[in-house]
Amino acid sequence: MSYEVSGPPLVSPWMMLSMSEARTDLDDAKIVIPGHSVSDAPQHFMRGHGTYIREGEIVSTVSGAVNQLNRLLMVKPIKQRYSGEVGDVVVGRVVEVQAKRWKVDVNSRLHSNLPLGSVLLPGGDFRRKDVEDEEKMSEFLKNGELICAEVQQVQHDGTLMIHTRNNKYGKLRQGILIKVPPHLIKKSKVHFHTLPYGMAIIIGCNGCVWVTPALPETFEEEQHVQISDYQKVSQEVRLAMVRVAACVRLLKDYSISIYLNSLTTCYEMSQPYEIKELYEQETSSRLAYLIAAKLLHEIQENQ
Amino acid sequence: MEVYLSDDEKLFLIAGIEDNIRNDGRTCADFRQVVLEQGVLTGTNGSCRVQLGHTTDVLAGIKLELESFDKDSEKNTPPPFKFFVDFSANASSQFAGKGGDEYAEELSAALTTAYSNSYDILGNLKKVQLADGYRWKIYVDVTVLQWNGSVIDAISLGVIGALHNLSIPEVEISPDDGGKVSIVLKRPRTGGNVRDEEVPVDTWKLDVSRCPLLVTVSKIGTGNVIDCTPEEETCIRSQLWVGLTPISNNDFEVTCVKQVGSGLLEIESVNEMISLSSGAVKGLHSALLHRLKTEEYRKPGHSFLL
């Protein structure tokens, strides 16, 4: 049992980040807020995303960093909802069962569509998706259930079409979901990781990180039976999962990007502390500072 | 922010609580870190802000008002406190419009119950009775800025913090015409030609060392849990609010027990839950008193607004 009543932190996360040298490569002059002028020579540049022309000036509509690609000027917003790219791995929650499709909340502006034809139904490939399947849709995926899917198509209004036509995608069972801002997720070739601590993690590109005892594909045999048996998670696995979840939250609080390397670094460095200590201001800020320094050092060495 | 969890997530969470490992690494009897700050609102006589686990955020402010009453018709002096709880719609979309009113009323009723015998709890509270027919009325207003579970715990901490921060002005009472009295704020005498209004008024403080703390104990699966997160609140079978007040150094007395929500409880589990909460309150209370004593005044601008 521990009880602690303390004052507000002396150093806020963003102050701490500016002390660590991780953000020095970003030029302050390139950061704009809505209404800021990006360039006063529109004849030389083309306006891109996040900008508009006002009285002969290119002006930003969002707050973010200015990017230049040849003659195209655009502003990349720092914080935004998940916009979606084809091929992204996302983790989302089913919010509605409709005729022939599920509506899925993937932290985007609009709910995504998961058509009945885009899922692997029990029974395998080359199956007709008939009326019977339509009637059993809510048996297969209910409201509130979590799924892992891939973005198949981005429609012009921003709606995402997703599919789970692979054994590694599909319904997620036991685990912990942590939501982080999508810009913290670093894109990589692999978003499914089985960690050497006896558990696995799915880092969804939409900012949903799923910590689970095992990846969906490892219990693919169970998928044939619709109602899989509940298996209790052992204590060691649970402790590892809870620690990884705490690591993800720590990285989120201090705006450190989340990918396999930062996560394992955080996990290893958090070992001397108890899990609940990772939520305490003093421990977490010190740890975050060390992690940021170490990751930065690694990046510099690789270059 | 409404929280949905799938059945499997709930099963995982419940099994974890039965194993005494919660999803954030705490054990069932652990509290999240509490951040407490006094004197955050300059327009009040006493104020306090409490943050639980970086998110649940509660602001408490106290205003005093001179009240006249008819001493003959009132046999027992009622407690001078008036509690009011308000849920900001920013805290959670479920409180928008009149959404939080019912819950807020329940919370203020629970606070009133816990402070019902306040003349025994607060040693020097008698002093608010100024003269025959006059007393200070203490309005305690609480607003919930952010909601992330166990709001009543945070509110009770905030109320104690604000009561500790409260400075009640000293007054001079002199008899006046027609059996009435005149009440004048007391200012320390100073030499020179300093104008009276510029001299700060003498004040006195309440002794809050025996104020009641309210904690929520929830039954999840077969385990009893303290300080639930919203995710855990979706799995609750039944919940108790327990108010405890210290009577001596290490002894606590239950001042109110209230069951909230649906679900039934066996009398054995009620006893278990109360004993768990008294253990938690013991630790929390000593940590709170320590913080109240050692808090240093921070320059505004280095406060919660930043």
Statement to judge: residues A249 and A273 lie in one domain: yes
- Preferred mutation among B3, B4, B6 to probe A, highest tally of A CBs within 10 A: B6
Give kind and range of the element (H or E) at residue B167.
strand B167-169
Residue A116 and residue A104 in contact, taking contact as beta carbons nearer than 8 Å: no
Mean pLDDT of chain A: 83
Q: What is the CATH number of the domain that holds A65?
A: 2.40.50.100
Asked if residue A114 and residue A61 are part of one domain, the reply reads no
Contacts of B23 in chain A (CB under 8 A): 176, 242, 245
Kindly report the CA angle at A110 between A104 and A115, in degrees rounded to 5?
40
Q: Are residues A293 and A196 in the same domain?
A: yes
User: What is the C-alpha separation between B284 and B114, in angstroms, rounded?
Assistant: 17
Overall average pLDDT of the A54-73 stretch: 86
How many Å lie between the alpha carbon of A303 and the closest alpha carbon of chain B?
A: 37
Please indicate whether, in this complex, the C-beta atoms of A176 and B303 are within 8 angstroms of each other: no
Judge: A4–B51 Cβ closer than 8 Å, yes or no. no
Residues A201 and A301 in one domain: yes
DSSP conformation letters of A13-76: HHHHHHHSGGGTTS-GGGEE-TT-EEES-TTT-EE-TTEEEETTEEEESSSEEEEEETTEEEEE
A88-104 confidence digits (pLDDT tens): 999 999 998 988 889 99
How many CB pairs (< 8 A) connect A and B?
Answer: 118
**A291 falls within a domain:** yes
| Contact flag B6-A280 (C-beta cutoff 8 Å) | no
Q: How far off is chain A from B215, nearest CA to CA, in Å?
A: 13
Residue A193 sits in the same domain as residue A95: no
Mean pLDDT for A236-254 is 91
B33 contacts in chain A (CB < 8 Å):
4, 6, 279-281
Alpha-carbon span A232 to A228, nearest angstrom: 13
Q: Is B54's CB within 8 Å of A279's CB? A: yes
- Bridge partners (DSSP) of residue A90 are A149
pLDDT at A290 over 90: no
- Closest by alpha carbon to B200, among B214, B186, B213? B186
Residue to substitute from B23, B153, B213, B290, interface A, most A β-carbons within 10 A: B23
- Residue A124 lies inside a defined structural domain of this protein: yes
Is A42 in the same domain as A85? no
pLDDT grade, residue A227 (50/70/90)? Answer: very low
Helices (H), chain B: 7-18, 101-114, 118-121, 151-165, 230-233, 267-294
Question: In sequence order, what are the beta bridge partners of B272?
Answer: none
Question: Which of A17, A46, A77 represents a domain boundary (last residue)?
Answer: A77
Asked whether the beta carbons of residue B36 and residue A7 sit closer than 8 angstroms, the reply is yes
Query: Is the model's pLDDT at A45 over the cut of 50?
Result: yes
Helix, strand or coil for residue B203? strand
Q: Do A146 and B6 touch (CB under 8 A)?
A: yes
Q: Do B33 and A245 touch (CB under 8 A)?
A: no
Could you say which of A56, A77, A98 is where a domain stops? Answer: A77
* pLDDT for the residue B75: 63
Q: Which domain holds residue A199?
A: 174-303
- CA-nearest residue to A172 within chain B is B8
Paired residues of A65 in beta bridges: A31, A76
Beta bridge pairs of residue B58: B50, B144
State the amino acid at position B138 in one-letter form: I
Last residue of a domain, one of A50, A77, A104: A77
pLDDT score recorded for residue A225: 46
Enumerate the residues of chain A whose CB falls inside 8 A of the CB of residue B294. Answer: none
Res B300: pLDDT: 55
Task: Tell me whether residue A2 is in a domain.
Answer: no
A43 min Cα distance to partner chain B (Å): 42
Give the number of other CB atoms < 10 A from CB of residue A119.
24
Please state the pTM of the whole predicted model: 0.84
State the CATH number of the domain containing residue A98: 2.40.50.140
Is A70 within the bounds of a domain?
yes
| Same domain, yes or no: A298 and A191 | yes
Four-CA torsion A292, A293, A298, A302, nearest 10 degrees? 100
Disruptive mutation site among A6, A179, A278 for chain B (greatest number of B CBs within 10 Å)? A6
Measured between CB atoms, which of A9, A173, A232 is closest to B15? Answer: A232
Reading the block at residue A64, the tokens are 């973010």
Is A146 found in the same domain as A179? no
CB contact under 8 Å between B6 and A144, yes or no, is yes
| Per-residue confidence (pLDDT) for residue B299, from 0 to 100 | 61
Q: Are B184 and B202 in contact (CB under 8 A)?
A: no
Query: Is A286 within the bounds of a domain?
Result: yes
**Does A70 share its domain with A160?**
no
Counting the structural domains of chain A, the total is 3
* Cβ–Cβ below 8 Å for B29 and A142: no
CA atoms within 13 A on the CB side of A290: 12
Q: Are residues A220 and A185 in the same domain?
A: yes
Q: Say yes or no to pLDDT of A2 above 80.
A: no
* Res A154 pLDDT > 90: yes
A178 within domain boundaries: yes
- Is A123 inside a domain boundary? yes
pLDDT score, position A76? 82
Question: Could you tell me if residue A191 is inside a domain?
Answer: yes
What tokens does A110 get? 């609009």
Same domain (yes/no): A192, A250 = yes
- Distance (Å, rounded) from C-alpha B260 to C-alpha A217? 42
Chain A residues touching residue B7 (CB < 8 angstroms): 142, 144-145
A252 and A133 both lie in a single domain: no
Tell me the chain A residues in contact with residue B37 when contact means C-beta distances shorter than 8 Å: 7-8
B interface with A, Cβ–Cβ < 8 A, is: 4-9, 11-12, 15-16, 19, 21-27, 29-37, 51, 53-54, 157, 279-280, 283-284, 286-288, 290-291, 295, 298, 303-304, 306
Q: Of the candidates A1, A146, A174, which has its C-beta nearest B11's C-beta?
A: A174
Phi/psi for B157 (5° steps) reads: -65, -40
The conformation of residue A121, written as its DSSP 8-state character, comes to -
- Contact residues of A toward B, CB < 8 A: 1-9, 12, 93, 142-146, 172-177, 230, 232-233, 235, 238-239, 242-243, 245-246, 249, 253, 274-276, 278-281
pLDDT in tens, chain B (306 residues): 466 888 889 999 999 999 889 988 888 888 888 888 888 888 888 999 898 887 888 999 999 988 887 776 666 677 888 999 998 888 777 777 787 888 889 888 888 888 888 888 777 888 888 777 788 889 999 999 888 888 889 999 999 999 999 888 888 888 777 767 777 777 776 666 666 666 777 888 888 888 888 899 999 888 899 888 888 888 888 888 888 888 776 788 888 888 887 888 888 989 999 988 888 888 888 888 888 888 877 665 555 554
Residue A245 pLDDT more than 50?
A: yes
The ipTM is 0.83
Q: How many CA atoms lie within 13 A of B173 on its CB side?
A: 14
Across the interface, of A93, A145, A245, the residue whose CB is closest to B23 is A245
Q: Where residue A226 falls among pLDDT bands split at 50, 70, 90? A: very low
